[in-house]
């Protein structure tokens, strides 16, 4: 009888234990992340990189997996401890190359397409940062950080290694600079540049002696901090390598003048500039399959990082160039070409989504292939597309479709078990009449467990950039579902300056940071309250990062009435100081119409510092101490301002994070701190 009672208790307890739980920060950091998907030469198999979180070790671990394009169970090809990344197929499809650490150096490796024992095919003294195989598979181009003056050395890698191996008795730590960058993103500069080299495979499959392709060019190939192998490419016959690089002689901290170069793949001649006439950004060279045309992306306005990337076609024989799809009012991403050479594929923001597009090369006609959610990556086969896709309720998984984007089929489900036991909020996009009568878009996410009869506190999220957007994607830092899981409704507005609504809309924020965007936020908040009666206007907090953090600081002195609390993460507090402190000076100079000394009035027009006397709302300030984009001094100043005003305020500093919070434990702490702040001031009981 006693045993039956115990069994009964267990039976009744199981449903409670298995009951779905609201999505939270720990769930966010533990999601498996699918990326860098590559289609096999025969089009039958996809390989990809999978990042799994080792929470105890406080880091992610990556490995290479494969899955049939027809679907089925994915298979791991590399051991998780190897931390393999960046998979690329061999030309014959029999093996895979990837990057992983060997003896504390990032090297190139190879493994059979069916798995097995992986072997390092490079034993360089320095890390390989990126790579691309030649069309015939006999050689590889790759990037390594080298001292520029080592370019004239017979062995530039060994030269750089000798310089890095500082003698033990040298105790001096000073760094002397004669120009910028002094530091960039989260790194102090030490004189090294990411340089492009090429090496042939020996008969044993190992890399032979490398040759330097970029010579003594004082620039990074690929660009830093986010450039990759999309910034260089072999010609179809393998005789030439194309790459883009910034012209640093014009002043790197205030220049966006990247150019496209070509260089013989054997390093026998100096690089040749193909876009010298354009003083703005030229990027992502893609030679056509027939070798006659070089496609690339080009901006038109120097020193403006958010200008529209147009798709250009350069006739390599005549030197004539034309814009493909000149009437398409979107900024293209990296390009890929169809097997028949008639179509180019790209992704870009578009009305709150990030779709995949096809562009007919001859006519310029643009077709949207996969519209909803975010296409985070893709590859193009002769008969099918491989698509990495996510949305506000689903992390990235892989899908297949035909070349017109039809018959979309999911072939991986890495987080299915986790998602089954989690509850997320439903979302809805809405539009309203914003500043200057323009149509502006936003969306609302309902809290988990939503009931139409109740009113809910609100997290009003303001995106960064400012030339960016809150879209239908699964974000790993600003994910609305983490707030919905805590009982908050979420409202966000894609104000003037956001991407995906045409270049004029994106341009409109420059020199108007506190103008039309603030009006859009006010009108969007009013429109959301009118449309969604479950939003509790008396229990709302505004929060944002980067430009979103700037706007929170601006709101604190110019629109503080609706808010019970504020959260500013790595936000600009003093626009004038920002004009001197940030590393990418072109950004502040474009956004304010010139330098601080030439146009000081513009920097003061929307400077949050000038309105601290009107601050009244409790504020949480978060700062990454390795953030060189918006330095720690900005966060400290905002905190001191709130403290001096006697406003309830807290400062959360991450000494080991940059502009983003990336480490798993730090991410959970960030979310827990922010959520506790929101609950404290909106009187939401702690769970």
In tens, the pLDDT along 64-77 reads 999 999 999 999 99
In tens, the pLDDT along 77-105 reads 999 889 999 999 999 999 999 999 999 99
Query: What is the SS3 assignment for 673?
Result: helix
Q: What is the mean pLDDT of residues 227-249?
A: 96
Confidence at residue 470, expressed as pLDDT on a 0 to 100 scale: 98
Report the alpha-carbon distance of residue 117 to residue 103 in Å, rounded: 17
In tens, the pLDDT along 270-323 reads 999 999 999 999 999 999 999 999 999 999 999 999 999 999 999 999 999 999
Confidence at residue 20, expressed as pLDDT on a 0 to 100 scale: 86
Closest CA to 671 of 22, 29, 51: 29
Closest CA to 412 of 50, 67, 75: 67
Helix or strand (DSSP H, E) at 395: strand 394-401
Query: What is the SS3 assignment for 521?
Result: helix
Q: Which residue has the tokens 């894609």?
A: 494
Report the alpha-carbon distance of residue 335 to residue 356 in Å, rounded: 11
In tens, the pLDDT along 547-567 reads 999 999 999 999 999 999 999
Closest CA to 394 of 364, 377, 372, 419: 419
Confidence at residue 80, expressed as pLDDT on a 0 to 100 scale: 81
Report the alpha-carbon distance of residue 358 to residue 685 in Å, rounded: 49
Burial state string for 446-473 with b = 16 or more CB within 10 A and e = fewer than 16: bbbeeeeeeebbbbbbbbbebbbbbbbb
Confidence at residue 380, expressed as pLDDT on a 0 to 100 scale: 98
Banded pLDDT at 480 (limits 50, 70, 90) = very high
Confidence at residue 2, expressed as pLDDT on a 0 to 100 scale: 41
In tens, the pLDDT along 640-668 reads 999 999 999 999 999 999 999 999 999 99
- Token code pair at residue 15: 């449903």
Q: What is the mean pLDDT of residues 360-374?
A: 96
The 8 Å CB, 24+ separation contacts for 171-180 are 179/252, 180/251, 180/252, 180/253, 180/583, 180/585
Longest dimension (CA), the chain: 92
Helix or strand (DSSP H, E) at 548: helix 547-558
Q: What is the mean pLDDT of residues 530-544?
A: 98
Report the alpha-carbon distance of residue 165 to residue 620 in Å, rounded: 43
Q: What is the mean pLDDT of residues 32-60?
A: 97
Confidence at residue 180, expressed as pLDDT on a 0 to 100 scale: 87
Ramachandran area for residue 668 (φ above 0: left; ψ -120 to 50: alpha; else beta): alpha
Confidence at residue 392, expressed as pLDDT on a 0 to 100 scale: 98
Banded pLDDT at 9 (limits 50, 70, 90) = very low
Burial of 626 (0-12, 13-18, 19+ CB in 10 A): middle
Does residue 325 carry a pLDDT above 90?
yes
In tens, the pLDDT along 422-438 reads 999 999 999 999 999 99
In tens, the pLDDT along 343-353 reads 999 999 999 99
Confidence at residue 18, expressed as pLDDT on a 0 to 100 scale: 54
Strand order in the sheet with 139-147: 130-133, 139-147, 192-200, 211-212
Closest CA to 50 of 68, 36, 38: 36
Does residue 482 carry a pLDDT above 90?
yes
Does residue 8 carry a pLDDT above 50?
no
Closest CA to 139 of 210, 191, 189, 83: 210
Active site residues: 546, 627, 659
Does residue 497 carry a pLDDT above 90?
yes
Are residues 295 and 285 in contact, defined by beta-carbon separation less than 8 angstroms? Answer: yes
Helix or strand (DSSP H, E) at 3: helix 2-18
Return phi, psi of residue 498, to 5°: -75, 155
Confidence at residue 685, expressed as pLDDT on a 0 to 100 scale: 54
What is the rounded average pLDDT for all residues in the chain?
Answer: 95
Confidence at residue 250, expressed as pLDDT on a 0 to 100 scale: 81
Confidence at residue 13, expressed as pLDDT on a 0 to 100 scale: 40
Does residue 5 carry a pLDDT above 70?
no
Confidence at residue 167, expressed as pLDDT on a 0 to 100 scale: 85
Q: Which residue has the tokens 């490419």?
A: 233
Q: What is the mean pLDDT of residues 462-488?
A: 97
Does residue 248 carry a pLDDT above 90?
no
Does residue 484 carry a pLDDT above 60?
yes
The DSSP-derived string for 71-110 is: ----EE-S-GGG--EEEEE-TTSSEEEEEEEETTEEEEEE
Residue 10: Cβ within 10 Å count: 10
Does residue 583 carry a pLDDT above 90?
yes
Beta carbons within 8 Å of 475's beta carbon, 6+ residues apart: none
- Enumerate the β-bridge partners of residue 269: none
Q: Which residue has the tokens 């730590």?
A: 173
Domains and CATH numbers, the chain: 421-682 (3.40.50.1820)
């Amino acid at each position: 009888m006693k045993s039956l009672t115990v069994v009964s208790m267990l039976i009744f307890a199981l449903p409670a234990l298995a009951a779905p739980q609201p999505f939270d920060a720990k769930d966010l950091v533990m999601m498996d992340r699918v990326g860098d998907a590559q289609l096999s030469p025969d089009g039958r198999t996809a390989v990809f990189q999978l990042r799994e979180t080792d929470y105890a070790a406080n880091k992610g671990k990556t490995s290479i997996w494969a899955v049939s394009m027809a679907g089925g169970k994915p298979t791991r090809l590399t051991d998780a401890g190897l931390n393999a990344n960046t998979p690329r197929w061999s030309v014959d499809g029999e093996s895979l190359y990837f990057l992983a650490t060997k003896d504390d150096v990032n090297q190139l490796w190879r493994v059979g397409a069916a798995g097995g024992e992986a072997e390092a095919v490079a034993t360089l003294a320095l890390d390989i940062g990126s790579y691309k195989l030649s069309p015939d598979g006999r050689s590889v181009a790759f990037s390594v950080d080298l001292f520029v003056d080592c370019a004239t050395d017979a062995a530039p890698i060994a030269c750089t290694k000798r310089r890095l191996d500082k003698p033990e008795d040298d105790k001096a730590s000073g760094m002397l600079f004669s120009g910028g960058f002094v530091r960039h993103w989260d790194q102090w500069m030490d004189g090294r540049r990411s340089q492009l080299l090429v090496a042939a495979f020996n008969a044993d499959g190992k890399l032979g002696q490398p040759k330097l392709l970029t010579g003594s060019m004082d620039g990074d190939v690929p660009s830093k901090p986010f450039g990759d192998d999309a910034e260089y490419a072999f010609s179809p016959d393998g005789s030439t390598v194309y790459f883009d690089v910034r012209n640093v002689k014009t002043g790197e901290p205030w220049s966006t003048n990247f150019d496209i170069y070509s260089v013989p793949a054997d390093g026998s001649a100096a690089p040749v500039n193909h876009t010298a006439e354009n003083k703005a950004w030229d990027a992502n060279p893609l030679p056509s399959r027939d070798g006659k045309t070089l496609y690339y992306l080009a901006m038109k306005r120097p020193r403006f990082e958010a200008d529209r990337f147009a798709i250009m076609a350069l006739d390599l024989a005549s030197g004539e160039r034309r814009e493909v799809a000149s009437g398409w009012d979107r900024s293209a991403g990296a390009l890929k070409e169809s097997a028949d050479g008639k179509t180019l594929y790209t992704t870009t923001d578009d009305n709150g989504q990030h779709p995949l597009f096809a562009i007919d090369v001859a006519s310029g006609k643009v077709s949207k292939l996969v519209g909803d959610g975010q296409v985070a990556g893709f590859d193009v086969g002769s008969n099918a597309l491989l698509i990495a896709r996510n949305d506000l309720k689903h992390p990235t998984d892989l899908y297949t479709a035909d070349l017109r984007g039809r018959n979309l089929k999911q072939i991986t489900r890495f987080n299915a078990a986790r998602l089954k036991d989690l509850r997320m909020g439903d979302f809805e996009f809405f539009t309203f009449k914003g500043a200057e009568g323009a149509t502006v878009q936003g969306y609302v996410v309902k809290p988990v467990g939503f009931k139409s009869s109740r009113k809910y506190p609100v997290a009003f999220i303001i995106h960064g950039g400012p030339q960016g957007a809150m879209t239908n994607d699964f974000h790993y830092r600003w994910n609305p579902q983490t707030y919905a899981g805590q009982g908050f409704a979420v409202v966000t507005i894609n104000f003037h300056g956001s991407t995906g609504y045409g270049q004029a809309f994106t341009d409109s924020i420059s020199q108007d940071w506190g103008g039309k965007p603030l009006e859009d936020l006010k009108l969007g908040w009013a429109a959301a309250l009118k449309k969604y009666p479950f939003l509790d206007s008396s229990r709302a907090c505004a929060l944002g990062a980067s430009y979103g953090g700037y706007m929170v600081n601006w709101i604190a002195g110019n629109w503080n009435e609706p808010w019970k609390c504020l959260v500013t993460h790595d936000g600009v507090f003093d626009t004038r100081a920002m004009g001197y402190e940030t590393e990418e000076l072109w950004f502040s100079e474009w956004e304010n119409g010139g330098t601080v000394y030439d146009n000081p009035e513009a920097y003061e027009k929307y400077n949050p510092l000038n309105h601290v006397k009107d601050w009244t709302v409790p504020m949480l300030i978060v700062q990454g101490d390795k953030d060189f984009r918006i330095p720690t001094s900005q966060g400290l100043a905002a905190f001191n301002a709130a403290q001096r005003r006697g406003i309830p305020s807290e400062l959360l500093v991450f000494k080991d994070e940059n502009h983003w919070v990336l480490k798993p434990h730090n991410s959970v702490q960030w979310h827990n701190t922010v959520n506790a702040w929101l609950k404290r001031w909106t009187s939401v009981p702690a769970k």
